[in-house]
Amino acid sequence: MKVAIKYCGGCNENYSREEVEKVIRKNFPDLEIFYSKPANVVVFISGCKKGCAFVHGTENFLHFDCKRSEEEIVEEVKRALWREKP
């Protein structure tokens, strides 16, 4: 399954956006991860609530904009992947 990761500009230096990607790569090693669409699931990682990374018109997506635990990230990704399965 293909997952695209799209980052915002990183205006919030207090939020390590890269941690979300590390958790996804660690817990889902079989996913093909890209930094552009098209993909089965798109993960938007923003540093704030403004959501600069978000691209309208995306159907199956996740949006992380604040610190989450590893368990929360894994559960959200699992739900998105489950929605994509035929």
Can you read off the two tokens belonging to residue 31? 């996913």
Condensed to tens digits (0 to 9), the pLDDT of residues 67-79 reads 889 999 999 999 9
- The β-bridge partners of 34 are 4
**Exposed e or buried b per residue across 28-58, where buried means at least 16 C-beta atoms within 10 angstroms of its C-beta:** eeebebeeeeebbbbbbbbbeeeeebeeeeb
Q: How many domains does the chain have?
A: 1
pLDDT at 49: 77
- When the pLDDT of each residue in the chain is averaged and rounded to a whole number, the result is 85
pLDDT band at 27 (very low <50, low <70, confident <90, very high): very high
85 has a pLDDT exceeding 80: no
- Structural domain boundaries, residue 9: 2-84
10 has a pLDDT exceeding 70: yes
pLDDT at 50: 75
